[in-house]
Amino acid sequence: MNIETIQTALKDIPLGGLRYFEQVGSTNDIALQWAEEKDIRDYSLVLANEQIMGRGRNGRKWQTPPDTALALSLILLPNSNEKKKLILFTALGALALAASLKEKFNIDAQIKWPNDVLIDGEKVAGILVEANWIGDTPKAVVLGMGINIRSEAVPPTKETLFPATSLEDALGAPMARLDVLRGLLQALVNWRPRLGGDEMVTAWDEHLAYKGQQVEIRGRDGQVTQGKVLGINKDGSLRLDTVQSIHFGDVHLRPSRV
């Protein structure tokens, strides 16, 4: 992967700009800085071959060893409608990945609400959405995605909170990182106009992990909610067969042992 091969692979994607790094701290950090620039354009992409300080949510780490994975941050300039639905950009990324994996590789992936993509119950990709603000108005959304392509991308079991896998392990064959990236970006461009619409919520719901299963959700305050997963509500919250729907993002969602 180098800037020429990336440009060739992505020639049909309406990128506003492209920055590629052999090694970075975090692509999201680069993208957040880039998004501060006056002439920043929609669909500007930061891509790295390796991250040494990749970030997950709430101070957790995301590992991207060299030559094995995709680490990308896409800068999106939200329109006035999208500004009201920032929370749904995470699902947009997850849905675009799941839809493109099905279409291009016939891989069935599930979305573990709110931000992980799983294959057969193992995490293959994580998503971290951040934004640049001017006062209380979001100027740019940074959609950060880490996708394990080769098995070497998968951290040792004792280092992960949740079982993990790679796309090649799922497919049982080698995959070109740039094919996965092109499919993902095409799907993102296609799905973005439907952000928060019925079609997106339905497709998200169809890919939802643990549907019909009993799960427990631990919130930031440590409070545990148990219930059966029923689906996604129109506002993007998770519908359980308890009285409450889950709106907040930092949760640990697991199949319940009961």
Instruction: Name the segment binding ligand BT5 (CB under 6 A); options: 8-16, 85-93, 138-146, 203-211.
Output: 138-146
Min dist CB 257 to ligand BT5, Å, is: 20
Instruction: Name the segment binding ligand BT5 (CB under 6 A); options: 97-105, 152-160, 192-200, 205-213.
Output: 152-160
**Binding test (CB under 6 A) with ligand BT5, winner from 14, 33, 84, 161:** 161
28 binds ligand BT5 (CB under 6 A): yes
**Binding test (CB under 6 A) with ligand BT5, winner from 6, 54, 88, 191:** 54
Cα→Cα distances 62→48, 101, 164, 251, Å? 13, 21, 12, 17
**Binding test (CB under 6 A) with ligand BT5, winner from 75, 97, 119, 128:** 128
CA distance 29 to 92: 21
CA distance 3 to 143: 20
Asked if the bond preceding 114 is cis, omega within 30° of 0, the reply is: yes
Which CB, 82 or 116, lies closer to ligand BT5?
Answer: 116
Cα→Cα distances 220→61, 162, 224, Å? 18, 17, 10
Min dist CB 20 to ligand BT5, Å, is: 13
Min dist CB 224 to ligand BT5, Å, is: 18
What's the order of all strands across the beta sheet hosting 137-148? 17-21, 44-48, 69-76, 137-148, 122-134, 116-119, 110-112
**Binding test (CB under 6 A) with ligand BT5, winner from 47, 118, 153, 232:** 153
Contact 240, 210 (CB under 8 A): no
CA distance 145 to 128: 6
CA distance 147 to 123: 9
Which residues, 178 to 237, sit near ligand BT5 by CB under 6 A?
A: none
The separation between CA 161 and the C-alpha centre of its own chain, rounded to angstroms, equals 17
123 binds ligand BT5 (CB under 6 A): yes
Min dist CB 14 to ligand BT5, Å, is: 21
Binding residues with ligand BT5: total (CB under 6 A): 31
The separation between CA 22 and the C-alpha centre of its own chain, rounded to angstroms, equals 21
Strands 44-48 and 69-76: antiparallel
Main-chain dihedrals φ then ψ at residue 48, nearest 5 degrees: -135, 150
Which CB, 212 or 255, lies closer to ligand BT5?
Answer: 255
**Binding test (CB under 6 A) with ligand BT5, winner from 14, 52, 121, 155:** 155
Min dist CB 81 to ligand BT5, Å, is: 25
Which residues, 59 to 88, sit near ligand BT5 by CB under 6 A?
A: 60-63, 71-73
Residues forming the site for ligand BT5 (CB under 6 A):
26-28, 51, 54-57, 60-63, 71-73, 115-116, 123, 126-128, 144-146, 148, 153-155, 160-161, 164
